[in-house]
Amino acid sequence: AGLRGEPAAPFVEVPRAWTVQYGVNVQMVGWPTAESEVELDGSIDDADATVRTVVDGELVGAVTIGRAAAARACRSEIAAALVSKV
């Protein structure tokens, strides 16, 4: 792509933030909204969970607790959905 005259794939920046609280990694990705449905996988009490926010069946945001790899996967899923709309 690019140098051969082919268009480059669109780039979509999906916001993210993270913190470590009392030794627990917490990450947020995407754009959760008030209209989002909330899906919980895991246990917040055990500091091992993924909270996905979905609108019309599409992931729009997520918060992960103790699951850094899941946050990266959610961020990629959101970006892929946005690129497919471009």
- pLDDT, residue 1, reads 53
**Dist. CA 10–CA 68, nearest whole Å:** 25
* Residue 8 covered by a domain: no
Is residue 74 a contact partner of residue 52, using CB atoms and an 8 Å limit?
yes
Q: Say if 4 falls within a structural domain.
A: no
CA dihedral 38, 61, 77, 43 (to 10 degrees): -50
Q: Does residue 39 lie in a domain region?
A: yes
* 66 occurs within a structural domain: yes
Residue 32: domain span: 16-84
11 domain-assigned: no
55: CATH: 3.30.390.30
For residue 36, the Cα-to-chain-centroid distance in whole angstroms is 14
The 10s digit of each residue's pLDDT in 16-27 is: 999 999 999 999
Helix, strand or coil for residue 32? Answer: coil
Residues 26-63: tens digit of each pLDDT? 999 999 888 899 999 999 999 999 999 999 999 999 99
In a domain, 9, yes or no: no
- CA separation for the pair 83, 86 (Å, rounded): 5
Please report which confidence band the pLDDT of residue 2 belongs to, taking 50, 70 and 90 as the band edges.
low
In a domain, 1, yes or no: no
Query: Total domain count for the chain?
Result: 1
